[in-house]
Each structure stands twice: as structure tokens, then as C-alpha cells.
Structure 1
Amino acid sequence: MSLALRTADELIAATRAWRSEPVSDPRVEALALAVSANLPVLLWGEPGIGKSASLQQLATGLGVPLETVIASVHEPSDFSGLPIVGDDPAADGVPMAPPDWAVRLARTGQGLLFFDELSSAPPAVQAALLRVVLERRVGSLELPAAIRIVAAANPPASAADGWHLSPPLANRFVHLHWTHDPRVVARGLAGTWPAITVSTVHAARTAGAVARARGTIAGFLTARPGLVHHLPADADSRGGAWPSPRSWEMALRLLAFHLATDTGRDALTTALVGAVGDGAGLEFSTYLQELDLPDPERVLADPDAFALPDRGDRQLAFLTAVVSAVQGRTTQQRWDAGWVVLAKAVDAGVPDVAARAALDLAALRDTDWPVPPAIDAFVEVLSLSGMLPAAR
């Protein structure tokens, strides 16, 4: 290389050098939360606002490779695999060969898989991507569980040959709207961009976090059954976030990770809206703020020391969380403590609220464990369910 070109390249490298600094940005935190929870994320934003650069920075911060796949320039077979005929296809079948990027990720065992220009991919390509996003299979190759999937899309109006996302594909993502802040861009071009880091999961919180998340979502959807599944009528909304059992499962994981990390509440709200849509996400976020469930692990450690919540929805969410905690680590002591908790619902005059929890708790009993006195309050419901002989 000539001296002139080498000097030019050094100047180019200098313009690309930058540092990062921690910032408090709910949108960035929501991205990190979803990636930490290993949920597919879709960044929506206009062209040229730094979606790809943000993903590169995230991969660098995680210390994993980034594999970028431009979805719009691929054929369906690039995701479903190309048939490779062997010596005896009648006996061995015809395997579907994966592309090179999938093989590299499988060999590495971890990484960030980035599908860019997703909204410019035609419907046939979107259909082929369904299995990659949901089952993590590319042809005959199964991607390692540690691979995180993130995609980016431009709104159909600004995308080249843009398409609306199909509802089945859209419902598999946490949707985040990526916008630019002029102040952030100005500071970034001056050499300092915001850092994108994944929050640390605190191991001591995990059991209680999962139990509280299960109880909270079960209580909310019991009170608002109409939000369990709602497919929007218009194509624009169908291509975004909307509530379904699948997206509520994503919300469950987001909430559990929020409770087990130090992620901010605004970031959680942003992620929840991205999973189940504006209406359901905002309503559930408000419900969370008013709920304030006690930690079921602390209650099981000392079941006589707590007071049952007053509101019916809080009672249901709390009892569901307690049973979920027992299910997560079932011992006789914890099982007995669960019945003490349910007995307080009977004493409070709301045995109907505890009935469902009683059925689930009874199903966890080891046949060698004696039946606690508190179970007598649920004899009728257990008899009707056919579980009383097993409980006795």
C-alpha cells in the first residue's frame, strides 16, 4: 500500500475511534433487559439513526461475535436450508444444509444474530424466518441456546419495497421503537457514545423473582381475561406488538428478569409495551405499580408473620406466587408453609380465592408427607377435583 493510502486509512481510523459512558436511557435498558432474557428483539426506526451501530456496541460489550444477516437480500432457502442429497436418501433422508453464518455461530456457541432490514423481506422470507426465531433452527442445524436474536426494521413507508410484518412473525418479537436524540448524536460524534450493558442477574433473587412474576401475571390475566389474546384488526398493528399467550410468556420472563436485576421501572414498562402492545402493556405496568407483592420466599420462611393483602386481585396474585415458589423448590417444610398461607385466606373469608391455589399445592404433595390440618378447609374443592384421596 502506498504511503498516501496508508496515511488516509490512519485518518479514517481516527474518525471512527470512540469511547462509551454509562447513561440512564429506558430504551437502552429495555433492549439490554430483553437480550439478557434471551427474547428476540425488533428495533423499529428510520434509516440511518444507528440501529446497526447500537447492536455492534452491544455485542462488543457482551464480548460475543456479531453475525449480521440482511434479510431482504436472502431467499427462503437461506433460512430453511438447501437440500443436500447423500449416498442413500431413501434410508438417510435429505438433510437441509445451513448457511455459513449459522455454522459460525454454532461453532462459537454464543453470539448476537442480527437480522437487518426485516420489513424489506418479502412474505416468503418472513415465513422461513419463523422457525429461526422461534425454534432456533436453520435448516438441519440447531443454534446454541446462548445465541441472542435481534432484528431491525424500517417502517414500511420508509423501507425500500417495504412490507408489513406477518402477524405470526411480529408476535415473536419484543418491539422497541428506536429514535435518535440530537444531544446524544452530537456527543457521540464528539467521541463519546452511550454504553449498552446487560444488567447482572442476582442469583439470590431468582427463585422469588420467578414466583412473583408468575403470580402477578396470573392475577392480572384472571382479572382482565379479555387481554389474554387480542389480534388487532388493521395490518399496521398486526405487524407490531399485541397480546397473546406467547407474548404474555415473554412478559413473564421480562418481569422475572426485572425483579432479579437492577433494571429501572421505566425500562420494564418499555419492554412490556414492546411485548404485549401499548394498551395491555401500559395497563399491566400500572397494575404492577399498585400491586407491590411481598417476596414469597420470605413468606414461606415465616408464614405466620405476614398479613394477607386486602384486594382480591392482590390476594390471587400473592397466593399464586406462593404456590409457584413451592413448586420451584418443593420440600415438606415449604409445602406445609404453603398451607399455612392458604389457611389465612380462609380465615379472611375468601376461600374461593385460595381454591385454585389449593389444587395446585395439593398436587405437589409427596405421598409420604402427612396431611396438614389447614387442608381441611379445602376438603370440598379437593373432593370435587378427585385429588382428595391422594391428599389423604
Structure 2
Amino acid sequence: MPSYAPLDVAGELLDLLRDTTTEPRPDTQLEALSLAVAADLPVLLWGEPGIGKTAALTQLAESLDLPLTTVIASVHEPSDFSGLPVIGDDPAVQGVPMAPPDWAVRLVRAGRGLLFLDELSTAPPAVQAALLRLVLERRIGALRLPPGVRIVAAANPRSSAADGWELSPPLANRFVHLQWTHDHEVVVRGLGGTWPRATLPRLDPERLTGAVDLARRAVCGLLTTRPTLVHRLPSGESGRGGPWPSPRSWDMTLRLIAFATAAGSSREVLSLLVRGSVGDGPGLELLAGLDRMELPDPEELLADPAGAALPERGDLRQAALDGVVEAVRRRPERSRWDAAWTLLVRALETGAPDLVVVPATALAALRRAEWDVPEAIERLAGAVDLSRRADRATARAVAAAEAGR
């Protein structure tokens, strides 16, 4: 019987534990991270310790076949990022070059890679200041990182960071901020040996021009009507250490919208990216503007109500129907009124019945005395009546509950 050294057996067991596989699986935050990396924007992952930020970056680097370079920001000096002065033979003539650290030299030689700046929130202010040029200009001392290098950082909230600091506003404004959380099912399946696979979303070449046009119209349209959002530095220290609107972060947002649109990403992914660039308030305003831009033209719906394609999302469908009623109100004609009823019937057949109640009531109020009641109204009457009875039943239940308190 062969003899084994104790550590050899332990090594075999460790190899078995490390033997895991990956599978394609929808993961909103992983897709958002991959899109931001594809867009060549610095990303900052916020999450509690042990949540899996480092593991996600390791898996992403493997999936993209990029060498991963990890730098713990909090254990470095400012000179490690700005460069160390190297005095030559004649500094008065030649100057004093700033020598970069060895990890930067390796990245330049490789020409590509994923630079992971870990524990960013525990880096003191002097180190954060030295990181500004690295994150924005990709410069370390006399070296400039090649275009094939992507930058991702990770940080713990100040409440859970060891000797944590708030990020300085200039450094925070250079990142796309993503809140990293764990998914119970992903963790359980991963511990069973199968983790989700991180892949770069496929950009559709046919969508590129339209994606850029949409992104520019969305961002420029919002900032034209809301000029105060161009630059708004939060008043609180914690807010300044997160995403906030500035010309720089709006440029990042524009790029992310174009990439998400070209990739056909979901609204959830786009929401994470937009709010992670300019903050929740401005981000939600921009997303609402995008929704309005995607609404179908009411006149086109009235021109072919039987074949009209209505939005699938309930709120967008409601807005589209309200727009049709408003179009009839602005130009009330018998043919347009009838077409609107036909469209409401189509909405009833293809979506939630309660969405037609308000538009149907408003449309009925536009009827002229000489207009006959269309047959379509009979098909809608049941849905309207049922919705009203449900509303009355809900009101009675609420009143009874309040009376019993």
C-alpha cells in the first residue's frame, strides 16, 4: 500500500474542493459589471465583507481570459501609485522620473489585464488622492496603462470596514458604483460546485448607431430641461462618497446607455448602471425619460388600432393608452374616437383588464351627441364594471379595518 505524506492527501482533497464548473445563468449584477468593464469604465463594487466581491472578479477575469492583478489599496503608500523619484546623473537637465511599481510594469508588458483595487474604503485620504490619476488617466509614475487594462475596485461600507474612510468626492465621481449582494440560489448552487458564468454581453452591430443616438437624446434631453442636474455635489459626506451627477459621470452614463442598448440588456441592468453613475434621483429621472422615448406614437396607434403593438410593461402600456386618449381629445373626430375604442379592446385582449379602466372612462367622456356608441364599448363594459366593484370592495375593507382599530 503506497504511503502518502499528510499534506499530499490534504492537497488531493483541496483539489477536489476547488474542482467547480460554471454555467450560463441570468445574473443582473454580474451582467451590469461585465457591461461596465466592456465600456472601459472604472467600477467600484460595494458590499459587506465575505459577500463574494473578490470571487466574482476572479471568475470574471478567468472568463475574459484576462490576467488578474490584485492591489490592496490600504497597505500601500501614495508613492506606490504616483511613482517613486529616481535621481539620474543630471537631474537638473534630465529631470527626475517617477518609477512605477512592479505590478504596473507587468501590466504594461502584458498589454492587457484586470486591475483589482481591493479594500478601497480603508485607504487613507493621501492614498485616495494618489489614486485619482490612476483611475482616470491610467497613469502610474511615468507609465501609462495600455487600453487593454480594465480597472475594478471593491470597498466595504464604512460601518463594516476596518478603520474605514469615506471616499473623497473626486475619487468617487470617477467610478460606476454597483451594490454587490448575494443571491441565495446562486450561493447554494455554487457551493454545490456550479457558479454562474461571467461573459461579456454580445453587442449587436446593427444596433450601434441607434444605441448612440438614443443615449445622446436621453441624456441631453434630460439635462436641457433639468440644467441643475448637470453638476450636483451632495451636501452630506456619505453622499459625496457615492455616485453623484457631474459632466464626467453623465459622460459615463451616456456610454453605459449605449452599451446596454446595443447589448439588448434588461431595464434592471440599465437601472443599476445609470443609478450607479449619477445617483438614484437623477438616474430615476433619466430612466423615466427613456421610458417616455420608447412609447409608441399615439397617431400611429390610431392609424392601425387592430394591428398595434402595445408595450408589455403595465406602466408603459397605461401611458400609451393615456396618450391615445389625449390625442383624441386634441383632435376629436368620429373615426379617431372609434379607432381608440378598437385599441382599448386590443389592450383588454392582450394585457391586464384594469389598465383600460381609466382610459375607457376618459374616452367615453369625449363622445359627441351625434356619435353612435361603438360595439367595442360592450366588450369593455364588463372589465370596467368589474374593476369598479373591486375598488369599492377594497374601499369597504379598508374602512372596516380602520373602524376596528
1:340-359 aligned at under 5 Å gives the runs none
1:254-273 aligned at under 5 Å gives the runs 254-273=256-275
Q: Deviations over 1:194-238 (max 9, x none)?
A: 111111222332223222211221111111112111111111111
Q: Distance in 2 between matches of 1:247 and 1:126?
A: 18
Secondary structure, counterpart of 1:24 in structure 2: coil
Shift of the alpha carbon at 1:32?
0.9
Q: Distance in 1 between matches of 2:52 and 2:27?
A: 15
Aligned with residue 89 of structure 2, among 87, 90, 108 = 87
Q: 1:151 matched to which residue of 2?
A: 153
Q: 2:61 matched to which residue of 1?
A: 59
Asked whether the 8 Å contact 1:33–1:263 carries over to 2, the reply is no
1:2–1:73 Cα change, 3 Å: farther
User: Does residue 252 of structure 2 align to residue 274 of structure 1?
Assistant: no
1:104–1:7 Cα change, 3 Å: same
Asked whether the 8 Å contact 1:28–1:196 carries over to 2, the reply is yes
1:1-392 aligned at under 5 Å gives the runs 3-292=5-294
Q: Which residue identity does 1:187 align to in structure 2?
A: R
Q: Distance in 2 between matches of 1:38 and 1:108?
A: 17
Secondary structure, counterpart of 2:181 in structure 1: coil
Q: 1:387 matched to which residue of 2?
A: none
Asked whether the 8 Å contact 1:213–1:256 carries over to 2, the reply is yes
Q: Distance in 1 between matches of 2:207 and 2:188?
A: 39
Q: Which residue identity does 1:284 align to in structure 2?
A: L
Q: Distance in 2 between matches of 1:180 and 1:192?
A: 15
Q: Distance in 2 between matches of 1:246 and 1:84?
A: 34
**Identical counterparts, % of pairs:** 63
Secondary structure, counterpart of 2:114 in structure 1: strand
Asked whether the 8 Å contact 2:230–2:245 carries over to 1, the reply is yes
Shift of the alpha carbon at 1:2?
6.0
Q: Distance in 1 between matches of 2:61 and 2:85?
A: 32
Secondary structure, counterpart of 1:67 in structure 2: strand
Asked whether the 8 Å contact 1:212–1:293 carries over to 2, the reply is no
Shift of the alpha carbon at 1:175?
0.4
Asked whether the 8 Å contact 2:218–2:286 carries over to 1, the reply is no
The normalised TM-score by structure 1 is 0.73
Q: Distance in 2 between matches of 1:32 and 1:273?
A: 16
Q: Distance in 2 between matches of 1:42 and 1:276?
A: 13
Q: Distance in 1 between matches of 2:143 and 2:185?
A: 44
Please, what is the CA RMSD of the aligned residues?
A: 1.6
Asked which structure has the greater RCO (Cα within 8 Å, sep 6+), the reply is 1
Q: Which residue identity does 1:7 align to in structure 2?
A: V
Shift of the alpha carbon at 1:283?
1.4
Shift of the alpha carbon at 1:257?
0.7
Q: Deviations over 1:315-341 (max 9, x none)?
A: xxxxxxxxxxxxxxxxxxxxxxxxxxx
Q: Distance in 1 between matches of 2:81 and 2:167?
A: 17
Shift of the alpha carbon at 1:152?
0.2
Q: Distance in 1 between matches of 2:131 and 2:280?
A: 25
Q: Which has the larger radius of gyration?
A: 2
